[in-house]
Amino acid sequence: MVSKNQKKLIRSLYQKKYRKQHGLFVAEGKKVIKELLEANLRLHSLFTLDSSNFDNIGMPMYNVTEEELKQISFLTTPQVALAVFYTPEVSEIKSEGLVLALDDVRDPGNLGTIIRLCDWFDVKNLVCSMQTVDCYNPKVIQATMGSITRVNISYVDLREFLMHKTLNSRVFGTFMDGNSVYDEKLPKEGIIVMGNEANGISMDIENLIKDKITIPQFGSDQQTESLNVATATAIILSEFKRS
């Protein structure tokens, strides 16, 4: 049975300030939870309809009913399990290879997808502005499908970070008026900046970017204003890796 205190704690973790206060976050679904456990993230508590899905965990695992799981789940249709994990320590940002930087990406689904893309394209470091959505938001965790365990995610003052890095690294940014990414000779190392869903890259950050690139539009009507930031990230990372 889920106690009142457990329910209160879990529900509070929907908000960033309580995740930060408690140093905890929520993950839902058997696959995601297993990925986090295999990555040796420290488990706080696990609530499941079927304990046989999680061998040799022992306590703190609790068998719950569908109704109890529904009461603590953040999903419209709860999955078979919900777990609370301790937030891991952030590792140092390493400059080797490509570093992806996000300037004020707000949508949890977009961030979750971008984390999966970093995992897919072997981008080890994802740097987020302080205004970017929290990577431990339950919707982000769900969208990563476990990839969050294989990407080092840091939240920084992005302007200060780029000012320091431009001394030794090429910084690329995506703009509507940039050079076609298909025509550029792209390096194996560097920083790629992706902007906010509605406003793109902010002026403060744009002023630090020398290499402006774009994904050219091929549609004859040319009426689509822009690509979704996660879709654009997939194309950009693919071109960098292909070249």
Q: Which CATH number fits domain 98-242: 1.10.357.10, 3.30.110.30, 3.40.1280.10, 3.40.50.740?
A: 3.40.1280.10
pLDDT tens digits, one per residue of 85-143:
999 988 888 778 899 999 999 999 999 999 999 999 999 999 999 999 999 999 999 99
Query: Do the domains 98-242 and 4-86 match in fold?
Result: no
Per the CB < 8 A criterion, the answer to whether 209 and 158 are in contact is no
Residue found under tokens 């590792």: 91
Topology of domain 4-86, CATH: 60s Ribosomal Protein L30; Chain: A; (3.30.1330)
Domain borders along the chain are 4-86, 98-242
What is the dihedral angle through the alpha carbons of 190, 171, 90, 37, rounded to the nearest 10 degrees? Answer: -60
Per the CB < 8 A criterion, the answer to whether 213 and 172 are in contact is yes
The pLDDT of residue 35 is above 70: yes
Residue at 179: amino acid letter:
N
Separation between Cα atoms, residue 163 and residue 126, nearest integer Å: 17
Average of pLDDT values for 213-234? 84
